[in-house]
A = this chain, B = another copy of it.
Amino acid sequence: MTSAPQAAARTAVRRARVWLTRAAEPGQAAMYALVRLVGPVEAVHLIRSRQAPPTVQSAVGTRSEDDRVDQDISVARRFGIRLVTPEDAQWPVRMLHPMVMATERGLLDIAPPLAVWVRGPVPLDEAVERSVAVIGSRASTAYGEHVAAEIAFGLADRGWTVVSGGALGIDGAAHRAALAAEGVTVAVLAGGLDRPYPAAHGALFERIAGSGLLLSEWPPGCAPYRRRFLIRNRLIAALSAGTVVVEASARSGTASTARRCRELGRSLMAVPGPVTSAVSVGTHELLRGGDDGGARLVTSTGQVLEEVGRLGEDMAQPPRAPPGSRDGLDALARAVLDSVPVRRAVAPERIARAAGVAVLDVLRVLPSLELQDLVELTEGGWRLSQAERRTGDHGAGG
């Protein structure tokens, strides 16, 4: 059961996130940092009263005066679209974890999503739990579409979700094959889910929304501008255990996809083709790699699963903090850590109270403690990390 004040607070957070999805283009580090620091409600308040840091304020611009929350919620409802936020149980915490960590470490020039709009019957976290992205050129050949379909069908047939970008060509072939195998497929789009783009994929998107998920960071009505595809691409990499590029022309968007996979520690794979084919030039570039590390050559579903299976094992063993890492903490960090509960997760406010320090100080310290694998953020709030819980060397909290 939920109390009335709790429900009201949750609604406020939710409405704040709706507002934020329209306020600025997704992926902006300053915006992400602000929301992480003060929470979405306070972030919206600061932006609307023009008290947010200049980088955030300028990212939002005149949109700070707009309020289309009610309209967005109403349009979304009409189209069967819902917002999934980090506060929801179905938020894909595990899949997004490397992206969150890389952002905290300042390794990414593009931040995790603040929330995503989705349409379809599958809970988001379940949909992407075991997933592989199959992407490629819009100017695909019959060969490329055939191979994309073979691999996607095989993945879906073995219970893996096929993630792709919903575009013409390779993306469409991958989605269709996953549907044919009666598997789950997720189309990660670069505009509002009420506006099918490309229009020719309207019927395909309806089928995807019937058994899988349409997903976008942009609220209803947003047009799929060119730059949005690059922002979107990081999410395809983040929401898949690995990405298979089937066909790509020279210097296409695959270079950015390759970089994202590398940044997130996700496997990048590429399917070769005839060297005489213009849309295999990009995949061969990836396979030649060079300074960028490059992609792994795959020719079948089996080889794809071999690759992501190996990665899955790696992911199952997160890096451990070296023993005794508590020793290097300053007095504030130590006080905060000693006030984090062992098992039950709590809000930063409660930790602040227990530690006798300001909430803002707690919010500043927690991310660095998380980086050191001393605490972890769960749906319910913060608690000691699994490694810390095991050591038994913890203070008064909990």
* Chain A residues close to B by CB (< 8 Å): 143, 146-147, 271-276, 280-281, 284, 287-288, 296-297, 299-300, 303
Contact = CB atoms under 8 A, between A and B. Distances in A.
A299 B286 CA distance: 13
A350 B272 CA distance: 60
Nearest to A286: B297
Contact of A288 (B143, B147, B281, B296): B296
19 contacts: A143-B274, A146-B276, A147-B275, A147-B276, A272-B272, A272-B280, A272-B284, A272-B287, A273-B273, A273-B274, A273-B275, A274-B274, A275-B299, A275-B300, A284-B299, A287-B297, A288-B296, A288-B303, A297-B297
Contacts of A303: 288
A293 to B, nearest CB: 14
A178 B303 CA distance: 37
Given A143-B274, A272-B287, A284-B299, 18 more contacts: A146-B276, A147-B276, A271-B275, A272-B272, A272-B273, A272-B280, A272-B284, A272-B297, A273-B274, A273-B275, A275-B299, A275-B300, A281-B299, A284-B297, A287-B287, A287-B297, A288-B297, A288-B303
A143 B143 CA distance: 14
A280 to B, nearest CB: 8
A277 B271 CA distance: 13
Q: Which 7 A-B pairs have the closest CB atoms?
A: A272-B272, A275-B299, A287-B297, A288-B297, A284-B299, A143-B274, A274-B274
Contacts of A274: 143, 273-274
A284 B303 CA distance: 12
Tell me which of A147, A281, A287 has the highest count of chain B C-beta atoms within 10 A of its own C-beta.
A287
A239 B11 CA distance: 75
A333 to B, nearest CB: 46
Nearest to A273: B274
Tell me which of A271, A275, A281, A296 has the highest count of chain B C-beta atoms within 10 A of its own C-beta.
A275
Nearest to A271: B275
A288 B296 CA distance: 7
A109 to B, nearest CB: 29
Contacts of A275: 147, 271-273, 299-300
Contacts of A276: 143, 146-147
Contacts of A271: 275
A272 B303 CA distance: 16
